[in-house]
Amino acid sequence: MKMKSDDKLIVMLSTYNGERFLDEQLESIFSQKTDAHIKVVVRDDGSKDGTKTILNKWATNHDLEIVEDGLSLGAAKSFWRLLNTVGDADYYAFVDQDDRWDVDKIQTAIDEIGEKEEPTLWFSNFRLMDEQGHPLPDDISNAEPEISMESELVCGFVAGCAMVFNRAALRKIRSYPIHQIPMHDVVMIEYMLAIGKVIYQSRPLFSYRLHSNNTVAKGGKPFLKRIKASFKQWFVVNKNAYQKFCGEMLSLIGDELAPETRNYFEKIAFSKKSLTNRWAIVKDPRSKHNNKRALRSFRMRTLLGLL
């Protein structure tokens, strides 16, 4: 489908001390080969480096809006605030500050979403690169994705930086009083799998950078830093976040879930109270993933009552 020249896409970017790679990412966004008008809305989460200088430079010659509210929210809540405050557009995308888009990412996404009236989320495959932008061997993004509401709780394959979605999806998500945000992309994909349409493009359309300061990915970190990051996520940032998220989702759209999925979410929502429930989650055949490290993490957090 050919895009209309008046299509508008808003790219939501949350920055934090991103000066090392930000120029390269913004260049890849504003170099997209598309007839759609691209606007980047950036919320800075309290950067102390030269991130704001870089953003102001790009804002002088490009449609880039900088949102500053003086708060440090963390990545998940920062992106969620953007989602709930950006203006009207035909399509929306999340982007990380340190990746690099292929020039046809946006055109491919909008062509495949088309003018669907139902809430629709598109996401693409990706390739890995190191801090210098060199390709890395990859046994995760090349694997066949396991995309279900259950598998996305075990290990989210659908990263926010891979997503493009339409106006109907944004309005539908905003219609729910969602407060539990373990990560913005987890919330988006789970709700869209439940109430919308999800499109997967197997061709990689961006490069995901692994480095020592990744917020979520552990692959670019030294061993001790990986352990420290995992400890922080398990016991501080996301302690019991998935239990709370599943409980809220059940209260908001539980009636719209398939009975088997509802049962799985109920197990997680009440897992802290029952060792029997936690063991049942670990043994459940749906608690699986081809990312073995993530699966081990899921099982350990479940048994410890931290999920």
Mean pLDDT of 163-174: 98
The whole-number pLDDT of residue 225 equals: 66
The whole-number pLDDT of residue 226 equals: 64
pLDDT class of 137 with cuts at 50, 70, 90: confident
Mean pLDDT of 208-226: 64
Q: pLDDT of 46-96, one tens digit each?
A: 999 999 999 999 999 999 999 989 899 999 999 999 999 999 999 999 999
Share of the chain above pLDDT 90, in %: 80
Q: Is 0.85 surpassed by the pTM of this model? A: yes
What is the DSSP code (8-state) at residue 270? T
Which of 165-169, 211-215, 254-258 bottoms out in mean pLDDT, i.e. has the lowest?
Answer: 211-215
The whole-number pLDDT of residue 26 equals: 98
- Residue 99, classified by CB atoms within 10 Å of its CB into exposed (0-12), middle (13-18) or buried (19+), is buried
Three-class DSSP category at 303: helix
Chain mean position to CA 46: 20
DSSP E strands: which ranges in the chain?
Answer: 8-15, 37-44, 64-67, 91-95, 100-101, 120-129, 163-166, 197-209
Q: How many CB atoms lie within 10 A of CB 156?
A: 19
The whole-number pLDDT of residue 218 equals: 45
pLDDT class of 119 with cuts at 50, 70, 90: very high
Contacts of 236 (CB under 8 A, 6+ apart): none
Q: Does residue 176 surpass a pLDDT of 90?
A: yes
Of the candidates 38, 35, 33, the one whose C-alpha atom is nearest the C-alpha of residue 13 is 38
Mean pLDDT of 186-196: 98
